[in-house]
A = this chain, B = another copy of it.
Amino acid sequence: MKIAVLGTGMVGTTIATKLIELGHEVTLGSRKADNDKAKAWLEQVDSDRASAATFADAAASAELVFNCTAGAKSLEALRMAGAENLADKILVDLANPLDFSNGTPPTLSVCNETSLGEQIQAAFPEARVVKTLNTISAEVMVEPRELPGEHVVFVSGDDADAKRWVEQTLLRDWLDWPEVVDLGDISTARGTEMYLALWVRMWGALGTPAFNISIVRRG
Enumerate chain A interface residues (CB-CB to B < 8 A). Answer: 102, 107-108, 111-113, 146-149, 151, 154, 181-184, 188, 190-192, 194-195, 197-202, 204-206, 208, 210-219
Contact = CB atoms under 8 A, between A and B. Distances in A.
B192 A198 contact: yes
Contact of A113 (B107, B210, B211): B107
B216 A212 contact: yes
17 contacts: A102-B113, A107-B113, A111-B194, A111-B197, A146-B218, A147-B217, A148-B219, A183-B205, A184-B205, A188-B201, A190-B201, A194-B194, A195-B195, A202-B215, A208-B218, A210-B217, A214-B216
Contacts of A205: 181-184
When all copies of this chain in the complex are counted, the total is 2
Count chain B CB atoms within 10 A of each CB in A111, A208, A213 and give the residue with the most.
A213
A149 B111 contact: no
Given A154-B198, A188-B201, A212-B216, 8 more contacts: A107-B112, A147-B216, A184-B201, A184-B205, A191-B200, A195-B198, A208-B218, A214-B216
A213 B191 CA distance: 14
A113 B112 CA distance: 12
A216 B148 contact: yes
Contacts of A184: 201, 204-205
